[in-house]
Chain A
Amino acid sequence: MNWAGLYTVLSGVNRHSTAIGRIWLSVIFIFRIMVLVVAAESVWGDEKSAFTCNTQQPGCNSVCYDHFFPISHIRLWALQLILVTTPALLVAMHVAYQQHQEKKLLMLTGHADAKHMEEVKKHKMRISGSLWWTYVCSVVFRLLFEAVFMYIFYMLYPGYQMMRLVKCEAYPCPNTVDCFISRPTEKTIFTVFMLVTSSICIILNMAELVYLVVRACARRSQHHSNPSSGKGSFYGHKHSSEYKQNEINQLLTEQDGSLKDMLRRNSGLQEKGDRCSAC
């Protein structure tokens, strides 16, 4: 499992995201993960071996390095990127659950053939109902993780600038020892770059949140002006044909158009569609 594996996993989520979500994912992969892998890792590659202290005291080098760099920038960024990308998996799990429900519905209506099952897998889920809440939660968590990591960075490395020289007095260094960091300017440039892209991602997430909320409000106000059948109870317990048909009707209402359209397109369903009150 490496960054390419994560890319494969998250590309699947891409299909069910909003446009802003897709832009966010591209920014994450191209301007953050890719820059981390192809450039930043080689800048920090020799951070310990080239960390030189003006002393011959054994152990002083290691102790000072450990004192000033409790956790390396590279590792912090890797953790940040992993934690920031994983809330999207909540959405993937919810979509998988909804697809499972749709497949069950198809089996109930007697259309469990390969073609319909394939269509269930391929069609894009609309972000409404419970999926909307899951999606909004994932965006909120992304924002939270980004903010927390930026704060941790600021606490550990105040000012985001990498110094050329640090003065170290940790045991066993004699008195105060000058220690020199390797490539401080290059490290500062990359730190600032990653900070800027992180801020861009935060802005994109906030924009996505606002967009989702506004869209939901707009939909709700449209709903109030055109009232349609409300949502009933989820699953009946009886297995009579009437109950089964009610179940089908309710599930069709819940699916908000996507499965309805799919079923409507297939001419073989015209009879059942006529009986369906929600269509």
Chain B
Amino acid sequence: MDWGTLQAVLGGVNKHSTSIGKIWLTVLFIFRIMILVVAAERVWGDEQQDFVCNTLQPGCRNVCYDHFFPISHIRLWALQLIFVSTPALLVAMHVAYRRHEKKRRFRNGEKIDIEELKNEKFHIRGPLWWTYTSSIFFRLIFEAVFMYVFYYMYDGYQMPRLVKCDAWPCPNTVDCFVSRPTEKTTFTIFMLAVSGICMMLNLAELCYLVIKICMKESRKTT
């Protein structure tokens, strides 16, 4: 089970999304997951091995690394991407439930074409509208929470070159050097920017859905 399987699972949801939703999914897979897998993981690959401290004291390096990097950027991004993509499964489950209901009606004698049922695209109205809107809302919440967690843990988004560590068993204060800080800062800012774009797409989609439903309601009343 890896990112490829997640893509297969979410690809099915794509059919029932709005156009903005489809753009969001593409941005997620190409500019975030793919960048994470092909580039970012290599940059952070040697983060602990090449974290060098100016001391011979055994254990000091481990302790300092743990103190300054409680959870690695890569893992945080992986968790963020998993959490942000899963609300789409709510929509998939709702669509599957609607299909199941239609099949039940078919079994009870109504005439519905089975092939058409499989390929049918459900319009985003009624309870499906609420499920879809909730899923976008959750996506926004998860994105915001993870961005805050990043900001809180790493005091801003820049990777320092040097950290001063005085955790036991390091003697007094020890200088420790982070590997590839500039490259890491570049990727952090990139992932931050794409995350911001995804949040804007989600907000746009939310506005679009709300406006669409308001227009429909006003057309119904006139």
Q: Tell me if B62 and A50 are in contact (CB < 8 A).
A: yes
Interface on chain B toward A: helix, strand, loop, or mixed SS? helix
Chain B positions 49 through 93: 1 when the CB is less than 8 Å from some CB of chain A, otherwise 0:
100000001110111011001111011001100100010010001
Choose one: A23, A26, A181; the contact of B62 (CB below 8 Å). A181
Q: Tell me if A50 and B48 are in contact (CB < 8 A).
A: yes
Residues of B within 8 A of A190 (CB): 75
Q: Tell me if B75 and A30 are in contact (CB < 8 A).
A: no
Residues of A within 8 A of B86 (CB): 30-31
Answer whether residue A178 sits at the interface, using C-beta atoms and an 8 A cutoff.
Answer: yes
Q: Tell me if B79 and A39 are in contact (CB < 8 A).
A: yes
Within 8 A of B (CB), among A24-72: 26, 29-31, 33-35, 37-39, 42-43, 46, 50, 52-55
Residues of B within 8 A of A19 (CB): 93, 97
Residues of A within 8 A of B59 (CB): 52-54, 165, 178-180
User: How big is the A interface, by class?
Assistant: 35 or more
Answer whether residue A73 sits at the interface, using C-beta atoms and an 8 A cutoff.
Answer: no
Answer whether residue B217 sits at the interface, using C-beta atoms and an 8 A cutoff.
Answer: no
Residues of A within 8 A of B63 (CB): 164-165, 180
Count of B interface residues, CB-CB < 8 Å: 33
Chain A positions 234 through 249: 1 when the CB is less than 8 Å from some CB of chain B, otherwise 0:
0000000000000000
Choose one: A4, A179, A181, A189; the contact of B1 (CB below 8 Å). A4
Interface on chain A toward B: helix, strand, loop, or mixed SS? helix
Closest Cβ–Cβ distance, residue B87 to chain A (whole Å): 11
- Inter-chain CA distance A34–B3, complex, in Å, is 8
Answer whether residue B107 sits at the interface, using C-beta atoms and an 8 A cutoff.
Answer: yes
Closest Cβ–Cβ distance, residue B5 to chain A (whole Å): 6
Q: Tell me if B49 and A39 are in contact (CB < 8 A).
A: no
Point out which of A33, A43, A46, A183 has the most chain B C-beta atoms below 10 A from its C-beta: A183
Residue on A with the closest CB to B70?
Answer: A185
Residue on B with the closest CB to A177?
Answer: B58
Chain B positions 1 through 34: 1 when the CB is less than 8 Å from some CB of chain A, otherwise 0:
1111110010000000000000000000000000
Given contacts A180-B59, A183-B48, 20 further A-B pairs with CB under 8 A are A4-B1, A31-B82, A35-B79, A37-B2, A38-B78, A39-B75, A39-B78, A50-B62, A52-B62, A54-B57, A164-B62, A165-B169, A182-B62, A183-B62, A183-B69, A183-B72, A185-B70, A185-B71, A186-B66, A261-B107
* 9 nearest CB pairs, A to B: A180-B59, A185-B70, A180-B62, A54-B58, A3-B1, A33-B1, A39-B78, A39-B75, A34-B1
12 contacts between A and B (CB under 8 A): A4-B1, A26-B89, A31-B86, A34-B82, A35-B78, A37-B2, A38-B78, A38-B82, A52-B59, A165-B63, A180-B58, A182-B65
